[in-house]
Structure 1
Amino acid sequence: MDILTLVGLLAGILIVILAMLSNASALTFLNLPGLAIVIGGTAAVTLIKFRLPSVMSAFRLAMASAFTDRMVQPSALIQEVSSLAAVVRKEGILGLENHQTDTEFLRKAINLCVDGHPPELIEEILTHEIQQTAERYDVAERVFRGIGESAPAIGMLGTLVGLVQMLNTLDDPSSIGPAMAIALLTTLYGAFIAQLIALPLADKLQLKAEDEARNQVLITTSMRNIMRGENPRVMTEMLSSFVTPEHRAALAPERRG
């Protein structure tokens, strides 16, 4: 569980709600027609921009990655692949057959190597996997950015609807209040959805995509060097560029080995 994402999302929503309720009741900020305009309009625009499977996939990916912390740190990956390189130098490529790993991409790479595929084919398959993963993250990010762009615009549309209704009923004072509520609250709903939910999730998906791509490139580079019989110490030194300088101290034993 990526607790910071969940805490940030809930804290942002809670702060805004508490601020709204500080001098007013919840019913003051509840306007069903305005909420229907924003949510329904944003959903409609999103479905116009993207295919339904892409939208569903984006929400699944957001739940699976933005709110979970399954990403392995590069330093731990480097240590793992360095140990794989040492095994291969001693036992050959079949020595990897019994290696257990929690990283799905690394597991796939190991299986391809053990199956005896040519290094060029293995690298091509892994590169294609990297591209497909990046595309899935890119589509999900664009879906949430699209929601973040559409929600405030639909909110402004609702504001115009409310203003038109208000201007058409100026002779009836009792109808001015509901019309003004739609005019103001739709803008609030649109900004709320965009700034507290959609755009932060889009940014988090972009960050997760970068982390995923970095780890996959690290694994692909490692397997290529392992297939060449590269020295584990030299390989670790080369892969140390994938980690920040302050985390390179954790690689010291492998670099000395």
Structure 2
Amino acid sequence: MDPAFLIGVVLAFGSLYAMITLEHASLAGLFLPAPMILVFGGTIAVGIASATMRDALVSFKALPRAIRGDRRTAAAMIDQVVEYAEKARAEGLLSLEQLVPDADDPFVRQALQSIADGTDAEELRIVLEDEIASTAARNRTASRFFATLGGYAPTVGIIGTVVSLTHVLEKLDTPDTLGPMIAAAFVATLWGLLSANFMWLPIGNRLQRLGELELERMTLVMEGMLAVQAGSPPHHVGERLQALVADKPVKRADKRESAPVPETADA
């Protein structure tokens, strides 16, 4: 589990709570049911209206993934693929079928089963690339949906504030109640901005980043399994996959190579 999302959200709301405490404001005055129902309900409603029902279902199914993250990384798959290469080289490609039930990644299971079934290399690449493209489309749908909610939320909050201020103008004959009513009117705008910047936009960006990492991992698995099918030596497979991993340290150039050569004075 990657706790980055939970840590960030807790720190964000913790900062808000610290500000409220230091300003000696009323915390209960922010949790008003009417503006919160409008902001959250209205934002989700217009988000669904701007997409399809399938898009909304796919997006909300991806919400737990955004919270917990993905423990499977591209770098972690290298050793596993190298083990497949060693087994295939020692016992043949058919032996990979024994490993299918133990693979916890559906994409890896699909690749192992296809190789064991004798699928042609070109056909295997097409099948795996199609699966990668389908996964990329689902990831884009989910991240774009929550980013859209982040765009709608502030405007919905302003709508709530305008509605409340209209009610305030009806009570001008009771000036003693105007202060609390005006303060309550701006709660809708507050929740619109809070939900957009503390929830919807971070979720959308988080899903986008997780999608990028997933595609990197799937591409690595595809190239590795195609190398296994081609009978490449295990150490060659490992070197090939290491070159595909983006989060590896970059070697610094030797300073002596970049240093200018001093000119020698003529005797």
TM-score, normalised to structure 2, is 0.84
Identity %: 30
Q: What is the CA–CA distance in structure 1 between the aligned matches of 2:97 and 2:34, rounded to whole Å?
A: 61
Q: What is the CA–CA distance in structure 2 between the aligned matches of 1:179 and 1:36, rounded to whole Å?
A: 18
Aligned to 2:255: none
Shift of 1:55: 1.8
Larger of the two Rg values belongs to structure: 2
- 8 Å CA contact 2:59–2:143 kept in 1: the answer is yes
Q: Which runs of 4+ in 1 moved over 4 A?
A: none
| Ranges in structure 2 where 5+ consecutive residues have no aligned partner | 252-267
Aligned to 1:8: 8
Asked if residue 245 in structure 1 is aligned to residue 266 in structure 2, the reply is no
- 8 Å CA contact 1:162–1:181 kept in 2: the answer is no
- Which one is further off, 160-169 or 91-100? 160-169
Which has more helix, going by share of residues?
1
Aligned to 2:44: 43
- 8 Å CA contact 1:33–1:182 kept in 2: the answer is no
Which residue of the other structure, out of 102, 117, 120, is the alignment partner of 1:118? 120
- Which one is further off, 238-247 or 122-131? 238-247
- Which one is further off, 184-193 or 169-178? 169-178
Q: What is the CA–CA distance in structure 2 between the aligned matches of 1:245 and 1:3, rounded to whole Å?
A: 22
How many residues align? The count is: 247
Aligned to 2:79: 79
Query: 1:44-63: per-residue Cα shift (whole Å, max 9, x none)?
Result: 21121122332232122120
Which residue of the other structure, out of 163, 166, 170, is the alignment partner of 2:165? 163
- Which one is further off, 163-172 or 198-207? 163-172
Shift of 1:69: 4.0
Alpha-carbon RMSD = 2.1
| Ranges in structure 1 where 5+ consecutive residues have no aligned partner | 249-257
Matched letter for residue 26 of structure 2 = S
Q: What is the CA–CA distance in structure 1 between the aligned matches of 2:71 and 2:205, rounded to whole Å?
A: 16
**DSSP 3-state at the match of 2:70:** coil
Q: What is the CA–CA distance in structure 1 between the aligned matches of 2:179 and 2:42, rounded to whole Å?
A: 23
Aligned to 1:66: 66
Matched letter for residue 248 of structure 2 = P
Q: What is the CA–CA distance in structure 2 between the aligned matches of 1:56 and 1:6, rounded to whole Å?
A: 23
Q: What is the CA–CA distance in structure 1 between the aligned matches of 2:219 and 2:96, rounded to whole Å?
A: 20
**DSSP 3-state at the match of 1:27:** coil
Q: What is the CA–CA distance in structure 2 between the aligned matches of 1:38 and 1:93, rounded to whole Å?
A: 57
TM-score, normalised to structure 1, is 0.87
